[in-house]
Structure 1
């Protein structure tokens, strides 16, 4: 009975979030250059041994129009040829500038330190700071589309949900289940969060007014966070600024990891967002995911077995009903998020069978703070 009541409450909360998606902002579309926005944006790209995947990012940035004033690549002493690739782009596009960040100060994580360093080197004539990750693939028309939306609607900070590029079957099986842990916990992309504590953000494409960053002293308030994007976005929202999280699947792509193992290790360790939330929120979300994502399939099979064995108590029938509903809704969500993926795979449609694993990963991640990130040990 306790599981049934908990699932009923959790399902009501989930539906209240998902139903908002019916009125969400439409996905951003690529736009042509806007002469009124000339030179308004400084892009900062943090790098550490990104030679194998940075080329699409660099090429995508060269295709951006004259809203883009400069592209500052902040490298943390890569040893794999990353700097050579950036230097080659410098010779072709004068907007590129390569700098090396100083050694990490106490209390800082590598990524926010690199972004903070880049912010300090941006031109004072730029009105906007745009953080772009090295694993992204910016599409033509990204920056004017992002800027037009932010300025027209009065946003001070906007980040984008990208279109994911997956390659291996294990990725197609696991990654959508991990993504669903975010979609279940937070409002859809294109829906503004009701409170700063529920703000969602994605640092892979993170646009912020330079004046706002100046007020917050750059990335200082997210210095020690392994989810610096969400931490900073929530701090910006808490300071009274307007923060948005949009669907950017038509203007930016991202190929994050190679295979299920790397997806589990690298992405899974930060999805709990504990550096940006209270313990109560973190563990409340874990319980919530347990009832609406991890349990439905096992409970569906269990209650079907009980009914087939002649055990038809009202609570069994009720549990079968609510878990059937949750399972069907979960597969329906795959239809909704299919445009967020480049290409398709049969294993994408099997990803609900990985839901228990995904919630287990959130649970394990919530137990301890990461000690390694992108080749660095903290």
Structure 2
């Protein structure tokens, strides 16, 4: 009973921290930004994105309040006609430049190299850089709002996290954990204030940077071989003396990251090992998550008839974990009912994906978009 009470207190504290982050510390860009007068370069790396790039491009061309907007698109070795789709959507719009990428040299992974090519070829007058992935669809005011928040916050890097669109059962189990993890375990305002590179987070789907700060940090060249190039870029910004911030971008952008379970499985598998680092650290984190969020409902069910008081404490711990998921979903535009009730199952799936990630990396079988990543 003592151990279970300690577990209950731990879950309650984490859920309280989630509430503090979601209710008071999470930045929320304005829905009605004024005009952004500085030149802004939007950078869009593409590799085999013919099926999804149309919505992204149309949303970029429909941006309002940024008269100095320029869009640079890089076709990174696509074999599915991505460049032809870009040309068909863009037409002769003078704001858009389409580049043909070159293969990454030794020591570079594909995504950082594509982003580096884009940054070095962007309009030299642009003072803000916005990196967007092909699976992101922006609201018409998104770029203006994000750049306005970047300047208002006084940071070098702003990560407005898009609303993740879920369609399948796998999506609903796994994808909400992205926001839940950083809202539950990362002190957002402390992250902004602290110069420690280890205290950093970012989402590469939609990143906004001050160009001078990006250059001072070394840009994507300093994260050339990093799987989590977004997080490592945020750390590089801190090392260079800059500041970073996360924001709720659910009213600015939507993102459907994966079309099906194999894509989702492989997408997480390629990067989870890099999130945790040493396998021992991963094992400790996963074990703690299972103990805190998966064990309580099992205990509540197993002891309901033989130890009702113990079962009730475990049930309360489970419900507090569910409340944490509800708070996260409501703060980031996600779906909470009935998905939050399956939070213990989500944690189990995360544990399995983590194990798979380390297993495939050990055997050098991790790939993404046809390229090895480890």
**1:149 counterpart residue number:** 149
**1:222 counterpart residue number:** 223
Summarize the alignment of residues 114-193 of structure 1 with structure 2, pairs less than 5 Å apart: 114-177=114-177, 179-187=179-187, 192=192
Return the alpha-carbon distance in structure 2 between the equivalents of residues 179 and 357 of structure 1. Answer: 16
Return the alpha-carbon distance in structure 2 between the equivalents of residues 289 and 184 of structure 1. Answer: 15
Return the alpha-carbon distance in structure 2 between the equivalents of residues 268 and 6 of structure 1. Answer: 32
Return the alpha-carbon distance in structure 2 between the equivalents of residues 248 and 78 of structure 1. Answer: 29
**2:323 counterpart residue number:** 332
Does the Cα contact within 8 Å between 2:42 and 2:129 map onto a contact in 1? Answer: yes
**1:350 counterpart residue number:** 342
Residue 297 in structure 1 maps to residue 294 in structure 2: yes
Residue 241 in structure 1 maps to residue 242 in structure 2: yes
Which stretch shifts more, 282-291 or 107-116? 282-291
Kindly tell me: are residues 374 and 123 of structure 1, through their superposed partners in 2, closer, same or farther at Cα, counting changes over 3 Å? same
Return the alpha-carbon distance in structure 2 between the equivalents of residues 360 and 13 of structure 1. Answer: 26
**1:309 counterpart residue number:** 306
Q: Counterpart of 1:328 in 2: which secondary structure? A: helix
TM-score by length of 2: 0.85
Return the alpha-carbon distance in structure 2 between the equivalents of residues 362 and 138 of structure 1. Answer: 31
**2:214 counterpart residue number:** 213
Which stretch shifts more, 169-178 or 354-363? 169-178
**2:351 counterpart residue number:** 359
Choose from 350, 365, 373 the match for 2:368: 373
Return the alpha-carbon distance in structure 2 between the equivalents of residues 371 and 301 of structure 1. Answer: 34
Return the alpha-carbon distance in structure 2 between the equivalents of residues 123 and 192 of structure 1. Answer: 29
In structure 1, runs of 5+ residues without a counterpart are: none
Kindly tell me: are residues 10 and 374 of structure 1, through their superposed partners in 2, closer, same or farther at Cα, counting changes over 3 Å? farther
TM-score by length of 1: 0.84
Q: How many angstroms does 1:179 deviate by? A: 4.8
**1:48 counterpart residue number:** 47
Summarize the alignment of residues 21-40 of structure 1 with structure 2, pairs less than 5 Å apart: 21=21, 22-34=23-35, 37-40=36-39
Kindly tell me: are residues 199 and 191 of structure 1, through their superposed partners in 2, closer, same or farther at Cα, counting changes over 3 Å? closer
What are the Cα deviations for residues 18-76 of structure 1, in whole angstroms up to 9, with x where unaligned?
Answer: 25313214422333451xx3352111111100011111110110011334431111111
Does the Cα contact within 8 Å between 1:24 and 1:191 map onto a contact in 2? Answer: no
Q: Counterpart of 2:318 in 1: which secondary structure? A: helix
Does the Cα contact within 8 Å between 1:131 and 1:206 map onto a contact in 2? Answer: yes
Kindly tell me: are residues 288 and 371 of structure 1, through their superposed partners in 2, closer, same or farther at Cα, counting changes over 3 Å? closer
In structure 2, runs of 5+ residues without a counterpart are: none
Which stretch shifts more, 99-108 or 183-192? 183-192
Q: Counterpart of 1:197 in 2: which secondary structure? A: coil
